[in-house]
Amino acid sequence: MIVAIVYRRHGKNSSLENCEYQYLGHNNVMQTHFQTTQSHANPDVIDFGAGHPGDALLPRTLMHAAAAQRLAQPDASLLQYGLEQGDGYFRHALAAFLSRRYAAPVDMDHLFVSSGASQALDLICTLYTQPGDAIFVEEPTYFLALRIFADHRLRVIPIATDAQGLDIDALEAALKKQRPAFLYIIPTHQNPSGATLPLARRQRLVELSTQHNFLIVADEVYHLLSYAASPPPPLAAFADSGTVLGLGSFSKILAPGLRLGWVQAAPQHMTRLYTSGLLDSGGGLNPFTSALVRVALEEGWEDAHLDELLAVYRQRIAVLDAALQAELGDTVRYATPTGGYFFWLRLPDALDGETLLQRAAAHKVGFRPGVRFSGCGGLRNYLRLSFAFYAEEQLREGVRRLRAAMQSL
C-alpha cells in the first residue's frame, strides 16, 4: 500500500525528468523508485530485443502542442467519464485518417476506442472465450499475445506459416479437427516474421471464417508502417463479413505511452464491446488521451509524424540490412522487411537462439530468441532483431557484437 508520496525536485532544471518520487512502503520504509518505463535500457548494451521506439522518436513537441490547444478550450468533457464506444469527434477524425491511409473507407460507427491492442485483445478474450477454449495462432506469433491467452487459460493451437504468412491449407486441415473460438493473426508485417498475407489468402481466410463460423482477431498494429509498396487492404476492411475484429494502435505510429488504440468491426461486435461491464463501470477507454490525439489527427500532425517515422525506419532497414550482409551474410538467412519493426533471422540449424543469447550477454548485445514466438517450443534456430529503438550507428555496432558472439560459440 502506498502510504505517502513525496515529490522532490533537484537540479536547476525543473522539468519532470529531474523529479524523482519516493513512497513509503508496507513497513514504512522509504523506498526510492527512479524507473517510469516498462523496460530500462542499459546504455552499455545494444538490445535488439527492444520492440518499441527510441525516445528520440517520441512526439514530445507534438503532444505539447495538442495538449495546449485542447486544454485552452472552455470545455471539460475530456475529463469526464467518456462515451463507452469512444469520443465521437475522435472516432470521426480517426475514421478520416484511416480511410486516407488505408485507401479504403472506414466508418466511425465501426470503430471502438481501446487502450491499445493488448487491452483490446484481453477484452476480446474476456467477452468471446471461456477457459479451455481452443484458439488458433500463427507459428510464429507475437510472444506477448501468448501471455494474454495464457491469462485466459486458452488452448493455443499453432498453424503453420510460410514466407507469405498463414498457410491457408494448414488452417483448413486444422478446421477439419476443431473450430476455434478465434484465430489470432498479424496479417501485415508480422511480428516477428515480417510476412504480409497476400490479398487472395485474405479473401480465402474470410470465406473460411464464415463457412466454419469462427472469428478472426486481426492484430494490424504494423499495417501503417509500410516502407515499400502499399500492402493489401487490412483484414479490418472485411469487417462487414461479421467475422473480423481488426485491432489498431497508436503505439507504433505515435507513442506507446498514450495507451490508445481501436477495434474496427461490424456493429454487432461494437455493441458487444461497449456494453461490457468494464465499459459500463468505467466509461469509454482513455477519453483524455483521445481528445489530445484528435487534435493531432485533425491538424495533420499525425500524418506528418508518421511520414517522418517511415523515412527513419526505411533508412534503418537499409543500414541493418547492409550490416547483416557484411558481418553475417554467410551465416544467417532472412527476408529484408518491407514494414514493421523486425528482422527475423534464421540461424544454421545447429545453433540455438537461447544459447546464443546467453553468450551474447558477454558481448553486450541482446535480441529475442525464436523459441519465445513459438506456440509449441519450436523455432529454436531463429532470432528477432528490432530496429525501432536504436539509431543507425548503434545498429551497425550491435551487428558487429552479434558476429563476435556467434564466432565465440
Ligand X SMILES: Cc1ncc(COP(=O)(O)O)c(C=O)c1O
Contact yes or no for 146/193 (Cβ under 8 A): no
Residue 286 engages ligand X in binding (rule: CB under 6 A): no
* Closest CB to ligand X among residues 186, 296: 186
Whichever of 140 and 287 has its CB closer to ligand X, that residue is 140
Residue 251 in the binding site for ligand X (CB under 6 A) = yes
Under the binding rule (CB under 6 A), the answer on residue 225 touching ligand X is: no
| Least CB distance to ligand X at residue 146 (A) | 11
Look at residue 315 and give its three-state secondary structure: helix
Is the CB of 221 or the CB of 244 nearer to ligand X?
221
Inter-residue contact 356 to 409 (CB < 8 Å): yes
**Cis, bond preceding 180 (omega within 30 deg of 0):** no
Name residue 405's amino acid: A
Nearer of residues 261 and 339 to ligand X, judged by Cβ: 261
CA–CA distance, 194 with 163 (Å, rounded to integer): 9
Task: Choose which of 168, 186, 224, 324 interacts with ligand X (CB under 6 A).
Answer: 186
Strand stretches in 163-286, DSSP E: 165-166, 182-185, 215-219, 244-249, 261-264
Residues 378-407 that bind ligand X (CB under 6 A): none
Rg of the chain over Cα atoms, rounded to whole angstroms, equals 22
From the CB of 341, what's the least distance to ligand X, in Å? 7
Residue 112 Cβ, how far from ligand X at the closest point, in Å?
14
CA distances from 17 to 60, 255, 371 (A): 13, 18, 37
Among 86, 116, 231, 353, binds ligand X (CB under 6 A): 116
319 binding ligand X? (CB under 6 A): no
What one-character-per-residue DSSP string does 276-298 give? SHHHHHH-BS-HHHHHHHHHHHH
DSSP-assigned beta bridge partners for residue 157: 136
Distance CA 293, CA 254 (A): 9
Q: How far is the CB of 359 from ligand X (least distance, A)?
A: 26
191 scored as a contact of ligand X (CB under 6 A) = yes
- Angle at CA of residue 49, ends 47 and 54, nearest 5°: 70
Cell digits of residue 296:
493531432
Site map 126..165 versus ligand X, x via CB under 6 A: ----------------x-----------------------
The correct pick among 98, 117, 195, 371 for binding ligand X (CB under 6 A) is: 117
Note whether 261 binds ligand X by CB under 6 A. Answer: yes
String of contacts with ligand X for each residue 14-53, x by CB under 6 A: -------------------------------------x--
